[in-house]
């Protein structure tokens, strides 16, 4: 039932298997255990156990109805019932309120199959009641739109918009998971454009971007639609898609108009400030957050397609080749979302940078301290005292190698180091 049936009807392989039964969970556990399969008591307060059969995890829940939701997430009480129809009545959207039993076929009391055919996301019953029960359903509706390319039913969308501020009261972990899934969706551009006013319930920073015209020869979209296209055009990874969402957030605050043309000097720095504030409210991994902020800061930096410039960029990117590739992916997405002629010029630059980066990596050119043909141990043997001067001289040696002033060869580097000693 639920997502399993929905995905099966769409011809998509389901991610998980959810079963429902009239049996109370203790009877379910007993029967499965007696059959020789392990069972985990994963949510017995709500009538749920999980059976592991042939390596597949099957979540099995007793039919139930929910009481009031004081916290907007968990029911204050649940009542176990004998009717699958009563159980389906508590589901979020009609496409998730379809059950299947081999002997009886499909059970679809709320028209979910027709909504699937029409590509409609519609709440089960009264939309406001569904969202009062669990406000995360508001964001889930947007996420389904991004993943499936479905439209949201008007009454459902109005209720999502009306209750959007309830998103602020949800656990950051839940918001982070759902928003990341939304950003990774195949139809994310359309969802950001149609649901931006709903997402503003927990991301108010996007409001300034909506309808903010760029009035520039480099752009044909306002800041929000440009952002939506950049997200869509970026690879579907959390790093690239979150970076794309944040990359121009500082534009409205940095804008000034001169001779009818808007300029956004230093907008990446403001974007970083805004993005950092949002990331503190979410629960993305710390390392991923730092990488996102670094790419936001560097997304508009012009890099010449030369060995020296690419290696300098790598130094700024923590010597991380994969992070450099991600930066180029974001730059490509940005270029594809700009005025076509100007964007084409930027795309040529990105393509040239990719070739240069590949050559730098293939030739094992030096851009990290560990790439140098000397080490701190060599400097100590040459008479340098242990201390911070060794690191300073090694960094200067790396700069000289990157700039082509010194060969990355032990004798030449030692001569350079001795010349720099005490400088």
Give the pLDDT confidence score for residue 3 in this predicted structure.
86
Task: Report the percentage of the chain scoring pLDDT > 90.
Answer: 83
Q: What is the model's pLDDT at position 81? A: 83
The model's confidence at residue 82, banded by pLDDT at 50, 70 and 90, is: confident
Do the Cβ atoms of 254 and 266 come closer than 8 Å? Answer: yes
Q: Given its phi and psi angles, is residue 9 left (phi above 0), alpha (psi -120 to 50 degrees) or beta?
A: alpha
pLDDT at residue 64 in the model: 86
Q: Give the model's confidence band at 67: pLDDT under 50 very low, under 70 low, under 90 confident, else very high.
A: low
Query: What dotted CATH number matches 369-420?
Result: 1.10.246
pLDDT tens for 275-315 read 999 999 999 999 999 999 999 999 999 999 999 999 999 99
Percent of the chain with pLDDT over 70: 96
Asked whether residue 273 carries a pLDDT value surpassing 90, the answer given is: yes
Q: From edge to edge, which strands make up the β-sheet containing 48-53?
A: 17-21, 56-62, 48-53, 39-43
- Do residues 315 and 301 lie in contact, with contact meaning Cβ atoms separated by under 8 Å? no
- Tell me if 321 sits within 8 A of 357, measured CB to CB: yes
Write down the pLDDT at residue 109. Answer: 94
Q: Full-prediction pTM beyond 0.75?
A: yes
Q: Rounded to an integer, what distance in angstroms lies between the CA atom of residue 318 and that of residue 325?
A: 13
pLDDT, tens digit, for every residue of 386-423?
999 999 999 999 999 999 999 999 999 999 999 987 65
Residue 76: band (very low, low, confident or very high) from pLDDT cuts 50, 70, 90:
low
Cα angle 257, 260, 263 (rounded to 5 degrees) comes to 35
Residue 295: other Cβ atoms inside 10 A: 27
**105-120, pLDDT tens digit by residue?**
999 999 999 999 999 9
What is the topology classification, in CATH, of domain 205-365? Answer: Hypothetical protein af1432 (1.10.3210)
Residue range 256-284: average pLDDT?
Answer: 95
Q: In the prediction, which pLDDT does 385 show?
A: 92
Q: What is the pLDDT of residue 46?
A: 84
pLDDT of 353 strictly over 80? yes
pLDDT confidence bin for 259, thresholds 50/70/90: confident
Kindly indicate the confidence band of residue 69, based on its pLDDT and cuts at 50, 70 and 90.
Answer: low
Mean pLDDT value of segment 80-87: 85
pLDDT at 17: 80
Q: Give the residue extent of every domain in the chain.
A: 205-365, 369-420
| Average of per-residue pLDDT across 61-83 | 71
pLDDT tens-digit map of 194-229: 999 999 999 999 999 999 999 899 999 999 999 999
Q: Is 152 exposed, middle or buried (0-12, 13-18, 19+ CB in 10 A)?
A: buried
Query: So what's the pLDDT on residue 73?
Result: 55
Alpha-carbon span 374 to 409, nearest angstrom: 8
Whether the CA torsion 393, 398, 400, 406 is positive or negative: it is positive
Supply the pLDDT for residue 13. 83
Residue pair 72/166 in contact (Cβ under 8 Å)? The answer is yes
3-state secondary structure the chain: CCHHHHHHHCCCCCCCEEEEECCCHHHHHHHHHHCCCCEEEEEHHHCEEEEEECCEEEEEEECEEECCCCCCCCCCCEEECCCHHHHHCCCCEHHHCCEEECCCEEECCCCHHHHHHHCEECECCCHHHHHHHCCHHHHHHHHHHHHHCCEECHHHHHHHHHCHHHHHHCCHHHHHHHHHHHHCCCCHHHHHHHHHHHHCCCCHHHHHHCCCCCCCCCCCCCHHHHHHHHHHHCCCCHHHHHHHHHCCCCHHHHCEEECCEEECCCHHHHHHHHHHHHHHHCCCCHHHHHHHHHHHHHCCCCCCCCHHHHHHHHHHCCCCHHHHHHHHHHHHHHHHCCCHHHHHHHHHHHHHHHHHHHHHHHCCCCCCHHHCCCCHHHHHHCCCCCCHHHHHHHHHHHHHHHCCCCCCCHHHHHHHHHHHCCC
Regarding predicted confidence, which is higher, 188 or 81?
Answer: 188
C-alpha–C-alpha distance, residues 168 and 178, integer Å? 14
Average pLDDT, the chain: 94
Q: What is the mean pLDDT of residues 26-52?
A: 92
């Amino acid at each position: 039932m639920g997502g399993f049936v929905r995905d099966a009807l769409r011809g998509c392989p389901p991610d998980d298997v959810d079963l429902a039964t009239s049996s109370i969970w203790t009877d379910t556990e007993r029967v499965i255990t007696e059959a020789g399969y392990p069972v985990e008591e994963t949510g017995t307060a709500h009538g749920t156990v999980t059976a592991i059969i042939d390596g597949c995890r099957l979540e099995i829940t007793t039919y139930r109805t929910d009481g009031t939701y004081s916290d907007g997430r968990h029911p204050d009480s649940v009542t176990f019932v004998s009717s699958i129809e009563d159980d389906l009545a508590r589901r979020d959207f009609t496409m998730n309120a379809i059950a299947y039993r081999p002997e009886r076929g499909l059970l679809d009391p709320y028209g979910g199959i027709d909504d699937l055919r029409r590509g409609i996301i519609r709440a089960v019953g009264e939309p406001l009641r569904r969202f009062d029960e669990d406000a995360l359903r508001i964001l889930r509706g947007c996420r389904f739109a991004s993943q499936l390319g479905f439209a949201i039913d008007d009454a459902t969308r109005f209720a999502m918009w009306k209750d959007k501020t309830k998103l602020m009261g949800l656990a950051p972990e839940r918001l982070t998971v759902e928003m990341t899934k939304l950003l990774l969706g195949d139809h994310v551009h359309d969802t950001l454009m149609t649901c931006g006013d709903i997402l503003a319930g927990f991301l108010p920073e996007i409001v300034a971007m909506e309808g903010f015209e760029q009035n520039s020869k480099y752009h044909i979209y306002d800041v929000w639609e440009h952002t939506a296209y950049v997200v869509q055009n970026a690879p579907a990874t959390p790093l690239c898609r979150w970076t794309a969402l944040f990359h121009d957030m500082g534009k409205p605050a940095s804008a000034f108009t001169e001779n009818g043309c808007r300029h956004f000097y230093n907008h990446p720095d403001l974007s970083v400030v805004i993005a950092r504030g949002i990331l503190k409210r979410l629960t993305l991994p710390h390392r991923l957050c730092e990488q996102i902020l670094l790419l936001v800061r560097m997304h508009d930096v012009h890099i010449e397609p030369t060995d020296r410039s690419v290696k300098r960029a790598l130094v700024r990117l923590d010597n991380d080749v994969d992070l450099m590739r991600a930066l180029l992916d974001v730059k490509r997405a940005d270029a594809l979302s700009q005025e076509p002629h100007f964007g084409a010029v930027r795309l040529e630059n990105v393509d040239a940078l990719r070739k240069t980066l590949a050559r730098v990596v293939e030739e094992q050119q030096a851009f990290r301290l560990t790439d140098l043909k000397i080490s701190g141990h060599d400097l100590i043997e040459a008479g340098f005292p242990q201390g911070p001067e060794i690191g300073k001289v090694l960094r200067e040696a790396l700069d000289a190698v990157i700039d082509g002033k010194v060969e990355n060869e032990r004798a030449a580097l030692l001569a350079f180091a001795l010349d720099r000693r005490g400088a």
